[in-house]
Structure 1
Amino acid sequence: MKRRRLKKYISRVLKLYLFYNLVSAILLFAIQKPSSGGLSADDYLMAEKLHDRVALIETGEEGARVRLDLAEAAQTSIDISYYTVTNGKFTEAFLSCLLGAADRGVRVRILFDGLTRIAYERKDLRDAVRGFETHPNIEVRYYEKFNILTPWAWHTRLHEKTIIVDGKLALIGGRNIGDKYFIKDEYQSRFVNDRDALIYHEGPEASVIGDMQRYFDLLWEYKRTKPHRKKITSRQIERAKFTNSAIRNHYKMLKSKHPELFQKTDWNAKTYPAEAVQFVHNPLGRLNNEPWSLRKLLSLTSQARSSVFLQSPYIIPSRRMRNEIKGYGIQWEKLTILTNSKQSSPNVLAMAAYLNHRKGIVDRVAALHEYQGPDSIHGKSYIFDDSISVIGTVNLDARSSYIDTESIIIITSKEFASDLRDKIQIPLDNSVVVQDDNTYGGAAKEMKTPRLFSKIVGLFDFLL
């Protein structure tokens, strides 16, 4: 009798909790109006800076090399914020360079997302991060750590992918830290094509890197950014000594076997001057926030005189996004779009939701290209009038617009725009244009997605 009553009690509690989740983790996002997170537009719409140098980092090999170069170049500080970090060869090399920097006196601050760490911080990586936490020059924090009692916070993710070094160098783009972004030969069809923008500044003038630094500090000091643990036990310290020693040995091995990876970089020669560079980021806060990054992109699109090219791995214009777009008087015939196809994208839910909007997009824009794989595209890139380029973390979906932390860099430079357009031509050459009848017109085979599945997923596009 007691056991039966206990089961009934547990069942009721679980049902109440599920209802609580339904309301606070799903329905609340559908009805709550966006807020500014207590900030004004001046806090995250930074002024253009006129004295920065830039470079496009396109291939996975280039992306890996520049990250190692940045760690090796650091003299005083390294600030890192990443959405996901996964075990692998490059991750091991990158972490060893960070520890090497800390050992020579560089202050290293590492900011991770508080939810994705649960999925990706497995044994070797977890041990490495815990070892870092015992180093006097390294501090690790997590943005919005998982809490079973706050389902509305589960969606609020740190979507940043940024490195800032010495206040003189910065890297921003769509790549997370993991081998599938850097080692194409090993990952083949699972490889993720992405890109970064490198910014370099040396001199007394104001730099966009200062704006990026202030944003990192805002994230770092945010009231819901916390360390993994407040106290470290003596046993954990002893284990960390062993882990850090292994990482140091790996660092020594890399320097011995691959000295070419540790040559001093001429950052001036690697970059070229931009006419102007601007940094924009979303507000911080839970639930829906004002879409400042999206609004900047829409403003640039509405101001374009002749052409707009955009690339996004996912295009899911929710109802709230569509209402926002209406206010900008966009001339759709100027737009050319590149996104994943169903066969190239690893994100089944995102592609199912996208299919609900594909015909409407085709009817409006000049051309909609879908990348055919076998790998996928993950870059978030925009070109306006062949002179203004945008690189960053913002996907064209509700999550990037209203929920996650996001940031973009806006570069006014015909040279950078030309370089970016040339690099984008490679996936464009491996794409198919969607025809007016919403098919490939026989140009390629197309995977089928059940229409009912797309419609069901589309009901939740305000969270995708």
Structure 2
Amino acid sequence: MPHVFEQTFSLSNMTCFSSQWPSTLRSLALLVMFSLLAACSSLPTDFEKVPSYALEADSENHLILELQELLNENPEKSGFRTLELGEEAFVSRIRLIDSASTSLDLQYYIWHDDLTGRTMHNQLLAAADRGVRVRILLDDLDTAGKDRILRLIDSHPNVEIRVFNPFANRARRLGDFIGDTHRINRRMHNKTLTADNIVTIFGGRNIGDEYFSADTNVGFGDMDALAIGPIAGEVSAQFDLYWNSEWAYPIAAFEWKELLEQADFKAFREKSDQYLEEARQSAYGDILRQYEMTTMKSITELKFVWSTWLLAYDQPSKVEANKVSAETHLAPKLQMGMDKTQRDLIIVSPYFVPGDEFTGYLVSLVDRGVRVRILTNSLQANDVSMVHAGYMRYREDLVAGGVELFEFKADANKVVRKENRESGEENKEKRRIGASKASLHAKFFSFDETYLFIGSFNLDGRSVALNSELGAYYASPEEAKILSQEFDEMILQIAYQLTLDESGDLQWTTERNGEELVFFKEPDTTWWKRFSTGFLSIIVPESQL
């Protein structure tokens, strides 16, 4: 059967224009015209952009020496370790940055100016001081108001920052949204950090407190993979492809009204060091000292799963693509894994908008004997209600077709998991910040209790056709079996199961304090939230979700 992800996809592209408006609409006209005139601004063309590529670390490189014995014991394989806890995911990044002696390549969709974001900036500059070459590639959607910070970091001689698919108007971005919709609507969603071309982290996390369990308001349940070995070189090659593409612009290429002086950089470094000291003295800094990655002497002390792998990612040319194809897009490669599934498929996707064709495809898997379990966000846990509006159209058909559908609870962070995966013994519960609200942000898949796919890909139209994504398949039977078992054992503590009542209407079942509860409307939500989201489900353009 043809891949359901392979479909023609197009967006209208608005162009710059001017016209006369009736005097009664003069104020609105001025606002619109101002935005459209701003949109007519073009991206810079007169600048130097020197291609650069991943650096091969020499045999005396610290990380190479540290890992060489493990790599020799596992030829033609890479080692993988899942990073489920936000604290461990953050410490792992800091550890890699601190360990690098040749190069650091970072590629992210979002980078917040908060405790974790500032700490990583500081440590990257410290690495650059040691002579490490640092390349940072950021999607430009989240850089609004951060240009000065990026320019200051970029001014270090060993650091270069580029922005992907940038806004021509740095201060008034609305104009680009209105006048260059087709291009601006395409974003780089890849998330990677690679040290010395030998160790890499990829997955669902952006850089920010909510992704690393450091935020008191919201905590994102997420998943990354720490990988060592040849796969890191492939991630580097992917990074180079984006870094040197025509859609990556040096931050220094834009015209700036404010000129930066050496004194500005010095003041920024002093402030950054102050932030770092505050982070070390914070409650979160104290919490991080509980984790193995903080205290261990070598990365080799970690337990890795050794496997062959398949790295899959969209080409950067997805920015201008109008058709999804297996040659240039990740989505068809992900479906190939589903096509081969014989017994069991687990899909974890915070933003899940399957559409009619993929809904039918999932039901067809059930019809041929595959158990399909899906975990996505409930309305209350979803940080993008519009996505929920698109998803809710397909719930009845999925459940009626035998798909086991679950929605993550906004209070799921109150469920404490004490099992130690590695030893099987109960360990002392670690102290955590504890956010008041939980939201699912992890994107991973499990196939036949044998293979995992971890990455940045959401099962929605935006990941399929608009945003660029990255992820990797690898075999991890022990971990996949534990995941399947824990899914069944814990799912009703952290999520609602959706079923149909005798009238064919949805109902939500969960457990709280050992008691089974059944809801007949979106749980833990207000009347207005249910009404407004239901209204959006009628009008929202699904291809944009």
State the TM bucket, normalised to the shorter chain.
0.7 to 0.9
Query: Is the 1:59–1:194 contact (alpha carbons within 8 Å) kept by the matching residues of 2?
Result: yes
More moved, 418-427 vs 405-414 = 418-427
In structure 2, the CA distance between the partners of 1:62 and 1:384, relative to structure 1 (3 Å rule), is same
TM-score of the pair, normalised by structure 1? 0.81
Match of 1:439 among 507, 510, 532: 507
Q: Determine whether 1:182 maps to 2:207.
A: no
Match of 1:69 among 75, 95, 109: 95
d(CA) in 2 for partners of 1:109, 1:266? 25
In structure 2, the CA distance between the partners of 1:134 and 1:97, relative to structure 1 (3 Å rule), is same
Shift of 1:4: 7.9
Query: Is the 1:128–1:244 contact (alpha carbons within 8 Å) kept by the matching residues of 2?
Result: no
d(CA) in 1 for partners of 2:201, 2:402? 31
1:131 is paired with a residue whose SS is helix
Match of 2:303 among 271, 289, 308: 271
Match of 1:101 in 2: 127
CA deviation map 1:327-365 (0-9, x unaligned): 996346521111111111111100111111111121224
Q: Determine whether 1:281 maps to 2:306.
A: no
1:62 is paired with a residue whose SS is helix
Match of 1:394 in 2: 457
AA matched with 1:385: D
The number of residues matched between the two structures is 418
Match of 1:414 in 2: 477
- Which protein shows a greater Rg? 2
d(CA) in 1 for partners of 2:374, 2:364? 18
1:229 is paired with a residue whose SS is helix
Match of 1:113 among 139, 151, 165: 139
Q: Determine whether 1:245 maps to 2:285.
A: no
More moved, 262-271 vs 152-161 = 262-271
d(CA) in 2 for partners of 1:299, 1:328? 16
Query: Is the 1:299–1:328 contact (alpha carbons within 8 Å) kept by the matching residues of 2?
Result: no
> Which runs of 5 or more structure 1 residues have no equivalent in the other structure?
22-48, 202-206
Shift of 1:17: 8.4
Shift of 1:167: 1.0
1:209 is paired with a residue whose SS is helix
Match of 1:54 among 67, 80, 88: 80
Match of 1:220 among 222, 225, 243: 243
Query: Is the 2:152–2:260 contact (alpha carbons within 8 Å) kept by the matching residues of 1?
Result: no
d(CA) in 1 for partners of 2:486, 2:206? 20
Match of 1:167 among 197, 200, 205: 197
In structure 2, the CA distance between the partners of 1:373 and 1:7, relative to structure 1 (3 Å rule), is closer
Share of identical aligned residues, percent?
Answer: 25
d(CA) in 1 for partners of 2:486, 2:471? 19
CA deviation map 1:63-90 (0-9, x unaligned): 1111111111111011001111112111
Match of 2:223 among 192, 195, 198: 195
Match of 2:116 in 1: 90
More moved, 104-113 vs 253-262 = 253-262
AA matched with 1:145: P
1:110 is paired with a residue whose SS is strand
AA matched with 1:443: V
Shift of 1:13: 10
AA matched with 1:275: S
In structure 2, the CA distance between the partners of 1:246 and 1:10, relative to structure 1 (3 Å rule), is closer
CA deviation map 1:124-150 (0-9, x unaligned): xx5442221110110000000014242
CA deviation map 1:22-47 (0-9, x unaligned): xxxxxxxxxxxxxxxxxxxxxxxxxx
In structure 2, the CA distance between the partners of 1:252 and 1:136, relative to structure 1 (3 Å rule), is farther
d(CA) in 1 for partners of 2:351, 2:494? 17
Match of 1:330 in 2: 365
Matches within 5 A, 1:359-378: 359-374=396-411, 375-378=438-441
Query: Is the 1:56–1:419 contact (alpha carbons within 8 Å) kept by the matching residues of 2?
Result: no
TM-score of the pair, normalised by structure 2? 0.69
CA deviation map 1:152-207 (0-9, x unaligned): 111110101110111110101111111111135x425x211101011012xxxxx1
Shift of 1:241: 2.3
Match of 1:32 in 2: none
d(CA) in 2 for partners of 1:3, 1:355? 40
d(CA) in 2 for partners of 1:423, 1:165? 33
Match of 1:293 in 2: 330
Higher relative contact order (CA 8 A, sep 6+): 1
d(CA) in 2 for partners of 1:175, 1:228? 23
Give the alignment's Cα RMSD to 1 decimal.
3.3
Shift of 1:248: 3.9
